[in-house]
Structure 1
Amino acid sequence: MSDPSVPSRTRLERRGHGLWVHVQPIFLVPGAAMSVFGTALATDISVSSGAIHAFAVCLAVYVAHLKDGYVDYYVRGEDERNPLEPREIRLAIAVATILFGLCLGLLWQFGGPIAAVATAPLLVLGYFHAPQLDTHPLTVTVDYPLGICLATVGGYATQTGTVSDTVLAVCLTLFLLLAAINIMLDRLDYDHDRRLAKRTLPVVLGPTRAQRIAWGLIGACLVVLLVSSLFGPLPTVAALAGAVPGAVTLACLVRPLDPNRLVALFIGVTYVFATMLFIAIRISG
């Protein structure tokens, strides 16, 4: 409960700081960026509907951060402090959810039902990330990649009212690559997650076996990209995008990197990979 002896201005400053702390741009921006990525894959672009979708994605991620902050401090005791009280967190989640619902209504009106249906699950993923999805080895590996793919599909559907085979192929390759990176990230938190009984893949299988699965997912990503480029919806030139993760993977297998450097390297690889895919699709019409 709020202390009535604390001045109103101090409480407002604490609340404002607490709300901003949960924004966490390093995690929020990629979701919005993939919304823009999906929007930009369309031929005719509506900036207003694209902005609404990107804002909806940000709201879903923000709900995830609010709920995660509540669980980490008030339930698990992982964080040292949380500037927001439980009822303030619940109120912030409620407001963000209402705004998200308004965005869905606008997306349905301007982008069509597919855009709204593809966007709606993002809030579910965000709200149930902790403590439900982040404790199972499968869901903790795929929830973020799935969210990124939904943001991409929703961004595209907002502009076109539909989903193309090309966009689905792009999302599948990104999903596999991001799932591999999620496993690498969980390797960094192995000791912490094991202590808290979080059943990530590195905890369940061990860091070495989990890393092998990550390499396998990257290999699957390259196979899907190659097949989609030669026989499927992606232009042939899109296969060149696979040279980046392929070369980096081979180099890391020959000369293993420190896990922290490995994660940072593959995060950068993802941005380059997505950019090359985008350019290949756009120049191919």
Structure 2
Amino acid sequence: MVTEHGIARHGAGPGAALRAFTSQIHPVFMLPPLAASAFGAVLAVRVDALPFVLHLVAAFAALYTAHVKDGYVDFHLRGEDEDHPMTALGCRTALVGASAVFFACAIALGVVVGPVATLVTLPGWIVGYLHAPQLDLHPVGATAGYPSGVSFALLGGYYVQAEAFSPVVLAFAAIFLVTLSGVKTVDDTKDHDYDRSIGKRTVAVVLGPGRARSFAYALMGVGMFAVLALAIEGVFPPSAPAAAVAFGIVAAFAYRAPPRLATMLLVRGAYVFLALLVAAVWFRPLAGAPLPDITVLGPYTYLATEVMFGSVAALLLWHARAWWAAARTVAVVYPVAYVWDWYTLEVGVFAIPMRTGIELLGIPLEEHLFMLVVPAFVVGVHETLNGDD
């Protein structure tokens, strides 16, 4: 039985009302921001239980507010959804209750930690409450709303412990924002037709599904590369790139998948990404470990790296059936690269100590191979990403 009176639309009494309220707790939607709050505390090293719990509850209340408001707008105002477990009164009651819990925790954080703790927690509720029907009508708001909530949860979880912001937590927040915006863009492609019909201007609607997916994977690629670059710079632990590699593998499988399956894979890949980052920061398994020294190969060191990357290039060309495209590209690039390479070596721009010493046409043998491998690798990647298979 469907009723528009009371709290629940299906059933009556306290039990039905409780089921309606708890139906708005979605673990898949809520876990990443809550995990980000906890990750912020881990980054701060010293974890004080009271601020930790207060911020976690505030983040949960903000997420609950966002989900209830989104359902209320989509079903009761827009008529988008076919059903909803709560009446309009139930939605408004839940919004008031969740908001009251959020502001109670935010004020308590201001008392326990300081006013900045309240200010850095507040954006989570603002983004959640305004997601529908304000932010979700604009490409930036629709795409970056949820990722920005995750980033603010991370910053808040860190600040309530450390009472400051560090370059590490700011870098992690930026990476989460960029990477998860890519995931959200892929998610929006599955609703492209419907969103377009009701006037929602998501990235998928503005760019079209194909270009939106390319844009999404570009964002995710930037995020993963940033993890590697910041680990090399010493900002992140040495083991942090393992998280980027794991997410990259999942993203590679999701690349050719239809939008719904791709979203499922990428969301779960984001869980793995976050979990490995937590492990990298908490345990620091490679701290103090030296980089593998392949110079033990002596004069064959450079040649060995070319064999390795050349093998990858060959696999990509075989997969994409792009041997002829690679051959044409190499034929055009090789003469220019040869002159450039010869000149820079001749005037002493750089030196290659770990080589066999075999020279051909005035430059080392390894440089000839380099001028074959690099264009072939680029063509292999390009054809694999853009081919019809």
What TM-score, normalized to structure 2? 0.67
Tell me how far 1:71 sits from its aligned partner: 0.7
* Residues 230, 113 of structure 1: alpha-carbon distance in 2 compared, 3 angstrom cutoff: farther
Report what 2:90 is aligned to. Answer: 88
Amino-acid identity (%): 34
Aligned match for 2:163, one of 161, 164, 168: 161
For the residues of structure 2 that align with 1:23 and 1:252, how far apart are their CA atoms?
27
Specify whether residues 163 and 198 from structure 1 end up closer, same or farther in structure 2 by C-alpha distance, changes over 3 A only: same
CA contact (8 A) 1:115 1:162 kept: no
Number of the residue aligned with 2:355: none
| Between 9-18 and 196-205, the greater mean CA deviation after superposition | 9-18
Which residue identity does 2:145 align to in structure 1? Answer: D
What is the Cα deviation at residue 219 of structure 1?
1.7
Distance 1:276 1:28, change over 3 A: closer
Cα offsets for 1:238-280 (capped at 9, x unmatched): 2332222334445555xx2232222222222212222222222
Match of 1:276 in 2: 276
- Residue aligning to 2:347: none
**C-alpha distance in 2 between matches for 1:264 and 1:3:** 36
The one-letter code sitting in structure 2 at the alignment partner of 1:55 is V
Cα gap change, 1:2/1:245 in structure 2, threshold over 3 Å: closer, same or farther? closer
Preserved CA contact (<8 Å) 1:122 1:147:
yes
Question: Structure 1: which 5+ residue stretches go unaligned?
Answer: none
Q: Report if aligned partners of 1:229, 1:239 keep a CA contact under 8 Å in 2.
A: yes
Cα pair 2:66 2:131 within 8 Å, conserved: yes
Q: 1:180 aligns with which of 179, 182, 198?
A: 182
User: Under a length normalisation based on structure 1, what TM-score does the superposition of the two structures give?
Assistant: 0.89
Could you tell which deviates more after superposition, 265-274 or 98-107?
A: 265-274
CA distance in 2, matches of 1:34, 1:124: 18
- When residues 242 and 3 of structure 1 are mapped into structure 2, their CA distance, relative to the original with a 3 A threshold, is closer
SS of match in other structure, 2:82:
coil
Q: Which amino acid aligns with 1:126?
A: G
Aligned counterpart in structure 1 of residue 41 of structure 2, from 36, 39, 42: 39
Rg: which structure is higher?
2
- Contact 2:254–2:265, Cα closer than 8 Å, also in 1: no
Match of 1:197 among 190, 196, 199: 199
Q: Which residue of the partner structure matches residue 124 of structure 1? A: 126
Aligned mates of 2:198, 2:72 — CA distance in 1: 16
Q: How does 1:212-231 map to 2 (within 5 A)?
A: 212-231=214-233
Which whole-Å CA distance do the structure 2 matches of 1:19 and 1:72 have between them? 17
Look up the SS of the partner of 1:23 in the other structure: coil
What letter corresponds to residue 223 of structure 1 in structure 2? F
Match of 1:206 in 2: 208
State how far apart, in whole Å, the 1-side matches of 2:34 and 2:5 are.
37
Unaligned runs of 5+ in 2: 288-389
Q: Residue 97 of structure 2 aligns to which amino acid in structure 1?
A: V
Partner SS state of residue 32, structure 1: helix
Judge conservation of contact 2:251–2:265 (CA < 8 Å) in 1: no
Give the deviation of 1:139 after TM superposition.
0.9
The runs of at least 4 consecutive aligned structure 1 residues that moved more than 6 Å come to: none
Letter in 1 for 2:111: Q
